[in-house]
Amino acid sequence: MTGTSTRTSRPAAAGASEPAARPRPAWTRRLGDAALELRAFIALAVIVVVFASLSDTYLTSSNLITMTRHVAINAILALGMLLVILTGGIDLSVGSIVGLSGVVAGVLLQGWQINSLDVVLYPQVWAVIVISLAVGMVVGAINGLLVSRFKLAPFITTLGMLYVARGIALLISNGSTFPRLSGSPELGNTGFGFLGGGRIVGIPTSIWIMVLLAALATVLIRRMPFGRWLYSVGGNERAAELSGVPIRRVKMWVYMLSGFCAAMVGLIIASELTSAAPQTGETFELNAIAAVVIGGASLAGGRGTVRGALVGAFVIGFLSDGLVMVGVSTFWQIVIKGAVIIFAVLLDQGQQRLKRSSAATAAAARTGPPPPSPAPHPEKVPD
C-alpha cells in the first residue's frame, strides 16, 4: 500500500548569513552635507588662521585692505564667469578682454589720432570708461552669438576669442605699453586714476565696485526672472526651451556681462598702474574659474551662488598673498593653487555623490520595504 505525504520547499535566502548593512545616522549625513556646502568658508577660515600664525602683519587693517583690493580684481571676474557657468558654458576670453580694454583706454587717454581728418581726439574720462566697457561687451556679444546662434562649443569659441582679443590688443599698441595715463588738466581728461587708486571713506574704489557689482548680481539672480532662466538653462536646456525660456537671449547676455566685468577689471588695473599693457590679464581666466568652482558652482551648469563665487575669490586671493608674505617660491605658489583647484573639484564630486546617495535612501524609505514573497506551494511526494 502506498501513501503520499506533503513537503514544503523553502527557498534559501540569499545572503542570509551576511548581516544587513546599517544605514548611517541622519545626523552624520546632515553634518557631511553642511561641511561640503560650507567648504569654501572653512577653507578661508583655515587659510586666515594658518597665515596669521605665521605672519604678525597678516591680519593688520592695512594688509587686509590691500589683500581685499587684490581680491576685488578676481572677484569681479568671477561674478561674470559665474553667470556663464550657470548656463553650462565657460568663458576663456576674459583675460584677453582685460588687456584689450586697458589698451583701448590707453589709446583714448593719450590721444586718438585720426589721420584722415588730421586731428587728435582726447575724450573725457567718463567717455573713455564707457567706450572701454562697450568694447568688452562687444567681444562678449560675439562669444554669445557664436555659442547661441551657431551652436559652437563655448570652450572652443572663447578659446579662439582669447587669441583674437589678445592679438587685437597687440596690434593696437604695437606690442608696447601706454604709460602716464593720468591725463592732462589742459585737455580735461584727468581723474582716471581714481578708478583704481582712489578711496571712498578710506576704502579703495575697486572694493566698492566689487561690492556694487556683487549686489547687482545677487538681485539679478535671486529677484529677477533672468536669474531663474540661468538655472533652468544650465540644469536642462531642452526643458527650459520647451518652457518658453529665451535660450539665445540668455546666452548672449551672460557672455556680454562677462565681457563687461572683464573690461571693468582692465580699467581698474590700468588706472591703478597708470599704464596699460597688452599682456595684462594673462591667466586671469583660470583664477576666475577657480574662484567659481571653489565657491561650489558646478561646471556642468545649474548650480552656483554669488556668495560662493565671492568666497572662492577670497580663498584664492588670501592664499596667494599669504604665500607671498611667508616667502614661498612663485613656482610653488602655482603648484599649490593648482592643487587647491583639483581638491575643490574632488569635494564637489563627493558632494554630488553624497546627495544622490541621500536621495536614494530617502526614496527607499518613502516606498517602504519590498512586498513579501508568496508562500511556497506544497508538493506531494510518494512515501
Residues 6 or more apart in contact with residue 275 via CB below 8 angstroms: 106, 177, 178, 179, 180, 181
User: Looking at domain 37-351, which of 3.30.70, 1.10.3210, 1.10.3470, 2.40.50 is its CATH number?
Assistant: 1.10.3470
Residue 96 has what pLDDT?
98
Helix axes 26-37, 330-367, angle to 10 degrees: 150
DSSP letter (8 states) at residue 178: B
106-145 pLDDT, tens digit per residue, is 999 988 888 777 788 889 999 999 999 999 999 999 999 9
Query: Which among 333, 301, 297 is positioned nearest to 316, based on CA atoms?
Result: 333
Beta bridge pairs of residue 140? none
Beta bridge pairs of residue 204? 199
Residue 360 has what pLDDT?
78
Asked whether the predicted pLDDT for residue 60 surpasses 60, the reply is yes
- Burial (CB count within 10 angstroms: exposed 0-12, middle 13-18, buried 19+), residue 295: buried
The model carries a pTM of 0.86
Other CB atoms within a 10 A radius of the CB of residue 363 amount to 9
Q: Residue 189: which pLDDT band, with cuts at 50, 70 and 90?
A: confident
Determine the 3-state secondary structure of 380 from DSSP. strand
Sign of CA dihedral 316, 320, 325, 326: positive
Residue 44 has what pLDDT?
93
- Burial (CB count within 10 angstroms: exposed 0-12, middle 13-18, buried 19+), residue 234: buried
Beta bridge pairs of residue 382? 4
Q: Residue 180: which pLDDT band, with cuts at 50, 70 and 90?
A: confident
Residue 340 has what pLDDT?
84
347-378 pLDDT, tens digit per residue, is 777 777 777 777 777 777 777 666 666 656 55
Buried b (16+ CB within 10 A) or exposed e, 113-151: eeeeeeeeebbbbeebbebbbebbbebbebbbbbbbeee
Sign of CA dihedral 303, 305, 311, 314: positive
Residue 23 has what pLDDT?
55
Other CB atoms within a 10 A radius of the CB of residue 58 amount to 21
268-311 pLDDT, tens digit per residue, is 999 999 999 999 999 999 999 999 999 989 888 999 999 999 99
69-99 pLDDT, tens digit per residue, is 999 999 999 999 999 999 999 999 999 999 9
Q: Residue 20: which pLDDT band, with cuts at 50, 70 and 90?
A: very low
- Per residue, what are the HEC states of the chain? CCCEEEEECCCCCCCCCCCCCCCCCHHHHHHHHHHHHCHHHHHHHHHHHHHHHHCCCCCCHHHHHHHHHHHHHHHHHHHHHHHHHHCCCCCCCHHHHHHHHHHHHHHHHCCEEECCCCEEECCCHHHHHHHHHHHHHHHHHHHHHHHHCCCCCHHHHHHHHHHHHHHHHHHHHCCCCECCCCCCCCCCCCCCCHHHHCEECCEEHHHHHHHHHHHHHHHHHHHCHHHHHHHHHHHCHHHHHHCCCCHHHHHHHHHHHHHHHHHHHHHHHHHHHCCECCCCCCCHHHHHHHHHHHCCCCCCCCCCCHHHHHHHHHHHHHHHHHHHHCCCCHHHHHHHHHHHHHHHHHHHHHHHHHHHHHHHHHHHHHHCCCCCCCCCCEEEEEC
Q: Residue 17: which pLDDT band, with cuts at 50, 70 and 90?
A: very low
